[in-house]
Structure 1
Amino acid sequence: MAPQEADGQPAVAAAVITHEGRVLLIRRRVTEGRLVWQFPAGVVEPGESPADAAAREALEETGLTVMAAQHLGERVHPDTGRRISYTACSVVSGEACVASAREVAEVAWASRSQLAEYVPEGFYGPVQDFLGKVLPQI
């Protein structure tokens, strides 16, 4: 059984993947509330750490092999009500693509100046701070 919160919902892990001055975002086939574009993410499986889950979900959804680099924080997501852990990841190999057409409609590498176009409400504070440090001002 996957790790669960008090409300019975499984915990979720998100991969914040940066590469060559951009961050990877995905558009899900089925939106979650106001969320249209988001990070590759999914349920933490039994015996799996959030960092391992983030890397696994990145591979399953985008075809990228990534390495967890830094835990950025966790929160209860205001749109989904799910506990979500954010892990900064670096690309090891592969090309970003729609690897799970059942779940993902589109992938995009966004520059710092494009973030508000994809996610107008902004990101979770520690994630926003991290992106502000690692993505160049263009």
Structure 2
Amino acid sequence: MIVVTKWTGRTAAALQDALHETNEGFAELLGAAPRTVAGWHSNPDLVPRSEMQQALATIYERASEHVRRRFSLLSRPPEQPTQAQALRVAIAVVLRGDQVLLVCRRGDDALSWQFPAGMCKPGAAVASVAVQETHAETGVHCSVREELGTRVHPKTGVLASYVLCDYLAGEATNRDTVENTDVTWVPLAALTRFIPADRIFPPILSALEAA
């Protein structure tokens, strides 16, 4: 048997439903007005007065096993909708002197040059994902210098988090031939010939100008 330590409008209404009573019939059992019972349905968080708490407890204790089972099912808290985890991508802007690392992606209708990127699983650190995915895609080892911020990507609609990285070692090669067709180092001065300036996250442009 469920032990109810404090009756609320929600549990009182659940007991009424378990008994298959109308508002008038349940009110008569409790010695209350029908509007009191109706109020429990409209305000599930309402806590009835102490004398009503006792009356509800007495009715529940005297109820049959079948009624108690129905009450057990009906009085469960409503399930909260699962909140979808926002899709997040970690994007690495890797510098080697006056060059930046780019990959050429296979798109639905065309090829496009982009910075190395990878999907972040829930709980994964953006910086770690950026470093790992850069190596997985290009064979380049890098370290994170600073995080540049996050935005909703205007083309894909996912959360895009950008990190500025420094080259450490490794030859740039296409290690993900399913997603990419090429990998290359591009001079900073020529970057906007590969990616239009209006598609580049403004903090990236500021960081590259400073570099």
Residues 35 and 79 in structure 1, CA contact (< 8 A), matched pair in contact too: no
1:26 to 100, 103, 124: 103
Q: Deviations over 1:72-105 (max 9, x none)?
A: 1110010111100000111222111101111111
Instruction: Look up the equivalent residue of 2:97 and give its one-letter code.
Output: E
Give, in whole Å, the separation in 1 of the partners of 2:135 and 2:121. 15
Residues 34 and 79 in structure 1, CA contact (< 8 A), matched pair in contact too: no
Residues 62 and 96 in structure 1, CA contact (< 8 A), matched pair in contact too: yes
Give, in whole Å, the separation in 1 of the partners of 2:111 and 2:150. 17
Instruction: Look up the equivalent residue of 2:145 and give its one-letter code.
Output: A
Give, in whole Å, the separation in 2 of the partners of 1:63 and 1:116. 24
Rg bigger for which structure? Answer: 2
Deviates more, 1:36-45 or 1:8-17: 8-17
Give the number of aligned pairs. Answer: 128
Query: Please, which runs of 5 or more residues in structure 1 have no aligned partner?
Result: 1-5
TM-score, normalised via structure 1 length: 0.84
Deviates more, 1:79-88 or 1:39-48: 39-48
Q: Which has the higher contact order (CA 8 A, sep 6+)?
A: 1
Deviates more, 1:10-19 or 1:99-108: 99-108
Give 1 or 2: higher helix fraction: 2
1:86 to 145, 162, 165: 162
After the TM superposition, which residues 108-127 of structure 1 pair with which residues of structure 2 at under 5 Å, given as runs?
108-122=184-198, 123-127=200-204
Sequence identity percentage: 35
CA RMSD of aligned residues (A): 2.0
Give, in whole Å, the separation in 1 of the partners of 2:87 and 2:203. 22
Residues 126 and 161 in structure 2, CA contact (< 8 A), matched pair in contact too: yes
The answer to whether structure 1 residue 72 and structure 2 residue 148 are counterparts is: yes
Residues 40 and 57 in structure 1, CA contact (< 8 A), matched pair in contact too: yes
The alpha-carbon distance between structure 1 residues 51 and 77, as it changes in their structure 2 partners (threshold 3 A), is same
In structure 2, the residue matched to 1:50 is: 126
In structure 2, the residue matched to 1:12 is: 89
The answer to whether structure 1 residue 97 and structure 2 residue 173 are counterparts is: yes
Aligned partner of residue 127 in structure 2, secondary structure: helix
Give, in whole Å, the separation in 2 of the partners of 1:69 and 1:35. 29
Give 1 or 2: higher strand fraction: 1
